[in-house]
Structure 1
Amino acid sequence: MMTGHDTDEGGNETADPRARRAGERDAFAIVGRVATVTAILMYVSYIPQIIGNLHGDKSSPVQPLVAAINCTLWVVYGFFKKERDLPVVIANLPGILFGIFAALTAF
Protein backbone atom coordinates (compact mmCIF):
# COMPACT_ATOMS: atom_id res chain seq x y z
CA MET A 1 0.00 0.00 0.00
CA MET A 2 1.37 3.47 -0.95
CA THR A 3 1.52 5.77 2.06
CA GLY A 4 3.88 8.42 0.72
CA HIS A 5 6.68 7.01 2.84
CA ASP A 6 9.42 4.57 2.02
CA THR A 7 10.05 1.47 4.03
CA ASP A 8 13.33 0.04 5.19
CA GLU A 9 14.39 -3.59 4.90
CA GLY A 10 12.29 -4.50 7.95
CA GLY A 11 9.14 -2.95 6.49
CA ASN A 12 9.25 0.02 8.85
CA GLU A 13 8.27 3.38 7.43
CA THR A 14 11.14 5.81 6.89
CA ALA A 15 11.19 9.59 6.52
CA ASP A 16 9.33 11.43 3.81
CA PRO A 17 11.14 10.80 0.49
CA ARG A 18 11.03 14.54 -0.29
CA ALA A 19 12.95 15.28 2.89
CA ARG A 20 15.47 12.56 2.06
CA ARG A 21 15.94 13.98 -1.47
CA ALA A 22 16.45 17.47 -0.01
CA GLY A 23 19.10 16.04 2.31
CA GLU A 24 20.79 14.33 -0.62
CA ARG A 25 20.78 17.60 -2.58
CA ASP A 26 22.39 19.37 0.38
CA ALA A 27 25.03 16.65 0.68
CA PHE A 28 25.78 16.79 -3.06
CA ALA A 29 26.03 20.58 -2.88
CA ILE A 30 28.63 20.28 -0.12
CA VAL A 31 30.57 17.61 -2.03
CA GLY A 32 30.43 19.79 -5.15
CA ARG A 33 31.85 22.81 -3.31
CA VAL A 34 34.60 20.77 -1.68
CA ALA A 35 35.48 19.17 -5.03
CA THR A 36 35.63 22.60 -6.70
CA VAL A 37 37.98 23.94 -4.03
CA THR A 38 40.25 20.89 -4.14
CA ALA A 39 40.41 21.02 -7.95
CA ILE A 40 41.46 24.66 -7.82
CA LEU A 41 44.08 23.85 -5.18
CA MET A 42 45.37 21.01 -7.32
CA TYR A 43 46.06 23.35 -10.23
CA VAL A 44 47.40 26.17 -8.06
CA SER A 45 49.95 23.62 -6.84
CA TYR A 46 51.68 24.09 -10.21
CA ILE A 47 53.11 27.35 -8.87
CA PRO A 48 56.22 25.71 -7.30
CA GLN A 49 56.83 23.82 -10.57
CA ILE A 50 56.51 27.07 -12.54
CA ILE A 51 58.91 28.84 -10.17
CA GLY A 52 61.39 25.96 -10.50
CA ASN A 53 61.11 26.07 -14.28
CA LEU A 54 61.76 29.82 -14.28
CA HIS A 55 64.84 29.31 -12.07
CA GLY A 56 66.33 26.76 -14.44
CA ASP A 57 65.18 23.57 -12.68
CA LYS A 58 63.17 22.41 -15.70
CA SER A 59 60.53 19.70 -15.43
CA SER A 60 58.60 17.75 -18.02
CA PRO A 61 55.87 19.73 -19.80
CA VAL A 62 53.79 16.62 -20.55
CA GLN A 63 51.65 16.36 -17.40
CA PRO A 64 50.68 20.05 -17.13
CA LEU A 65 49.99 20.20 -20.89
CA VAL A 66 47.72 17.15 -20.72
CA ALA A 67 46.02 18.63 -17.64
CA ALA A 68 45.41 21.89 -19.55
CA ILE A 69 43.87 19.98 -22.45
CA ASN A 70 41.70 17.96 -20.05
CA CYS A 71 40.57 21.11 -18.24
CA THR A 72 39.77 22.81 -21.55
CA LEU A 73 37.49 19.92 -22.48
CA TRP A 74 35.74 20.09 -19.09
CA VAL A 75 35.25 23.85 -19.35
CA VAL A 76 33.74 23.48 -22.82
CA TYR A 77 31.48 20.70 -21.53
CA GLY A 78 30.36 22.63 -18.44
CA PHE A 79 29.82 25.91 -20.25
CA PHE A 80 28.05 24.71 -23.37
CA LYS A 81 25.83 21.90 -22.09
CA LYS A 82 22.11 22.68 -21.97
CA GLU A 83 22.12 23.42 -18.24
CA ARG A 84 25.49 25.05 -17.59
CA ASP A 85 27.57 23.39 -14.92
CA LEU A 86 29.40 26.38 -13.48
CA PRO A 87 31.18 24.47 -10.68
CA VAL A 88 32.83 22.32 -13.38
CA VAL A 89 33.81 25.45 -15.30
CA ILE A 90 35.12 27.26 -12.22
CA ALA A 91 37.04 24.21 -10.99
CA ASN A 92 38.80 23.72 -14.32
CA LEU A 93 39.62 27.27 -15.45
CA PRO A 94 42.73 27.49 -13.24
CA GLY A 95 43.90 24.18 -14.69
CA ILE A 96 43.95 25.67 -18.18
CA LEU A 97 45.94 28.71 -17.12
CA PHE A 98 48.38 27.06 -14.73
CA GLY A 99 48.78 23.95 -16.92
CA ILE A 100 49.69 25.97 -20.01
CA PHE A 101 51.99 28.25 -18.05
CA ALA A 102 53.74 25.31 -16.36
CA ALA A 103 54.16 23.55 -19.72
CA LEU A 104 55.51 26.67 -21.45
CA THR A 105 57.99 27.47 -18.71
CA ALA A 106 59.34 23.90 -18.90
CA PHE A 107 60.95 24.62 -22.27
Structure 2
Amino acid sequence: MLGWLGTLLSVIMYVSYVPQIMGNLHGHKTFFLQPLAATVNCAIWTSYGLLKEKKDYPLSAANLPGVIFGFLATVTAF
Protein backbone atom coordinates (compact mmCIF):
# COMPACT_ATOMS: atom_id res chain seq x y z
CA MET A 1 0.00 0.00 0.00
CA LEU A 2 2.82 2.38 0.86
CA GLY A 3 4.49 1.62 -2.47
CA TRP A 4 1.39 2.61 -4.42
CA LEU A 5 1.05 5.82 -2.38
CA GLY A 6 4.63 6.66 -3.30
CA THR A 7 3.76 5.86 -6.90
CA LEU A 8 0.87 8.31 -6.87
CA LEU A 9 3.02 11.06 -5.40
CA SER A 10 5.76 10.43 -7.98
CA VAL A 11 3.28 10.61 -10.84
CA ILE A 12 2.02 13.95 -9.51
CA MET A 13 5.61 15.19 -9.26
CA TYR A 14 6.41 14.31 -12.88
CA VAL A 15 3.10 15.56 -14.28
CA SER A 16 4.16 18.92 -12.86
CA TYR A 17 6.44 19.16 -15.91
CA VAL A 18 3.37 19.95 -18.03
CA PRO A 19 3.45 23.73 -17.30
CA GLN A 20 7.16 23.78 -18.12
CA ILE A 21 6.50 21.96 -21.39
CA MET A 22 3.69 24.37 -22.25
CA GLY A 23 5.93 27.36 -21.48
CA ASN A 24 8.68 25.92 -23.67
CA LEU A 25 6.21 25.47 -26.51
CA HIS A 26 5.08 29.08 -26.13
CA GLY A 27 8.62 30.43 -26.43
CA HIS A 28 9.50 30.73 -22.72
CA LYS A 29 12.41 28.31 -22.89
CA THR A 30 13.74 26.73 -19.71
CA PHE A 31 17.08 25.05 -19.03
CA PHE A 32 17.12 21.44 -20.23
CA LEU A 33 19.53 19.83 -17.74
CA GLN A 34 17.19 19.07 -14.82
CA PRO A 35 14.49 17.34 -16.92
CA LEU A 36 17.21 15.46 -18.84
CA ALA A 37 18.69 14.20 -15.57
CA ALA A 38 15.21 13.18 -14.39
CA THR A 39 14.61 11.33 -17.68
CA VAL A 40 17.80 9.30 -17.38
CA ASN A 41 17.26 8.61 -13.67
CA CYS A 42 13.66 7.52 -14.20
CA ALA A 43 14.59 5.34 -17.18
CA ILE A 44 17.12 3.50 -15.02
CA TRP A 45 14.65 2.99 -12.17
CA THR A 46 11.84 1.94 -14.51
CA SER A 47 14.11 -0.61 -16.15
CA TYR A 48 15.36 -1.85 -12.79
CA GLY A 49 11.82 -2.45 -11.54
CA LEU A 50 10.80 -4.33 -14.68
CA LEU A 51 13.98 -6.36 -15.13
CA LYS A 52 14.19 -7.71 -11.57
CA GLU A 53 13.35 -11.36 -11.12
CA LYS A 54 10.53 -10.35 -8.78
CA LYS A 55 9.01 -7.40 -10.65
CA ASP A 56 8.59 -4.15 -8.75
CA TYR A 57 5.60 -2.60 -10.50
CA PRO A 58 5.05 0.30 -8.07
CA LEU A 59 8.67 1.39 -8.61
CA SER A 60 8.36 1.19 -12.39
CA ALA A 61 4.95 2.85 -12.47
CA ALA A 62 6.25 5.67 -10.26
CA ASN A 63 9.13 6.42 -12.63
CA LEU A 64 7.61 5.86 -16.08
CA PRO A 65 5.88 9.29 -16.10
CA GLY A 66 9.27 10.83 -15.32
CA VAL A 67 10.66 9.25 -18.48
CA ILE A 68 7.81 10.59 -20.60
CA PHE A 69 7.37 14.07 -19.13
CA GLY A 70 11.08 14.61 -18.46
CA PHE A 71 11.85 13.73 -22.06
CA LEU A 72 9.15 16.06 -23.36
CA ALA A 73 10.40 18.89 -21.13
CA THR A 74 13.95 18.29 -22.36
CA VAL A 75 13.04 18.21 -26.05
CA THR A 76 10.80 21.26 -25.89
CA ALA A 77 13.52 23.26 -24.08
CA PHE A 78 15.56 23.34 -27.30
TM over 0.5: yes
1:63 aligns with 2:34: yes
Structure 1: runs of 5+ lacking an equivalent: 1-28
Q: In the alignment, which residue of structure 2 is the partner of 1:102?
A: 73
Structure (1/2) with the larger helix percentage: 2
Amino acid at match of 1:37: L
TM-score for both structures, normalised by structure 1? 0.71
- Higher Cα radius of gyration: 1
RMSD: 0.6
TM-score for both structures, normalised by structure 2? 0.97
- Which ranges of 4 or more aligned residues in structure 1 deviate by more than 2 Å? none
Q: In the alignment, which residue of structure 2 is the partner of 1:84?
A: 55
Structure 2: runs of 5+ lacking an equivalent: none
CA–CA distance in 2 between the matches of 1:33 and 1:88? 8
